Amino acid sequence: MTGKLVIGNWKMNTRADSARKLAAALLADAETNRDGVGIAAPAVYLAALGEQLQGSSIALSSQDVSRYAEDGAFTGEASAAMLADVGCRYALVGHSERRQYFGEDNAALLQKMRNAAAAGLIPVLCVGETLAQREAGSYKEVVAAQLAVLAELDAADCVIAYEPVWAIGTGKVATIEQIAEIHAFIKNWCLQNAAGSDKIRVLYGGSVKAENAEAILATKNVDGALVGGASLDADSFRVICQAAGKLI
Ligand code: PGA
């Protein structure tokens, strides 16, 4: 895929009816129903959305994937094979909310990356530092430590989403200079440490909105966006996708 990738992360929002309506609005619009646009929906709605999006250009993504690959006694889990079975193409892995509230560490995330890839899903590894880490000046070390799982993979057909925790859902956006700096750092880290690194796309996430999308997406080494809050509104998400579509 060339061009920018925009994935809407619905998080723990919507109900069956509102999810269907939001997807219908995206399907009906050429700016959102095209290659390079995806939605990461709550697990319970993935099967229905997989059917609804069938034959469309919108890619379906899960928000997580089990660290366990095989069927069995893992109550509450959804395996990579199950996610692929209902039509997912991407799987978010290690979102900061998963790291923070569910204690996900690199060992678990490596399993998740491996399972997603083995099932034919493209994992989207989320990385990013907290405000304290940013202010302490250790953000590059933090991000490098999170990226370290990629060095363990043989072939890294994956996407990275850089999302500073302090910019997620806060309305605070990293400056263009901050985004450019860390994206260059991530690309460079990948070139030195990850197999297949020239193909790895790096998305920015954290309070991406209709108003700031174009400037962020036009920043060097930004290959797309992971959009939370603004992806729940079809009109806002459309503007973000439109901005992405204009850029190479
Ligand atoms: P936000 O979330 O756009 O609401 O800040 C981004 C994300 O967490 O993926």
Contact 227, 205 (CB under 8 A): yes
Q: Which of 68-77, 226-235, 239-248 has the lowest mean pLDDT?
A: 239-248
Closest ligand 1 atom to Cα of 227: 3
SS3 sequence of the chain: CCCCEEEEECCCCCCHHHHHHHHHHHHCCCCCCCCCEEEECCHHHHHHHHHHHCCCCCEEEECCCCCCCCCCCCCCCCCHHHHHHCCEEEEEECCHHHHHHHCCCHHHHHHHHHHHHHCCCEEEEEECCCHHHHHCCCHHHHHHHHHHHHHHCCCCCCEEEECCHHHCCCCCCCCHHHHHHHHHHHHHHHHHHCCCHHHCEEEEECCCCCCCHHHHHCCCCCCEEEECHHHHCHHHHHHHHHHHHHCC
Return the pLDDT at 155: 72
Centre of ligand 1 to C-alpha 87, Å, is: 23
**Minimum CA distance residue for ligand 1 atom 9:** 228
| Joined tokens for residue 174 | 């990293």
Distance CA 167, CA 135 (A): 13
- pLDDT, tens digit, 9 for 90 and up, residues 93-103: 999 999 999 99
| Joined tokens for residue 48 | 């229905």
- pLDDT, tens digit, 9 for 90 and up, residues 167-218: 998 888 899 999 999 999 999 999 999 887 888 999 999 999 999 999 999 9
Task: Name residues contacting ligand 1 (CB within 6 A).
Answer: 9, 163, 168-169, 205-208, 226-230
Contact 34, 54 (CB under 8 A): no
Centre of ligand 1 to C-alpha 113, Å, is: 21
Ligand 1, pocket-test mutation among 226, 233, 239, most atoms within 8 A of CB: 226
pTM given for the model: 0.97
Contact 113, 125 (CB under 8 A): yes
Domains with residue ranges and CATH for the chain = 5-246 (3.20.20.70)
44: amino acid identity, one letter: V
- pLDDT, tens digit, 9 for 90 and up, residues 116-155: 999 999 999 999 999 999 999 999 999 999 999 999 987 7
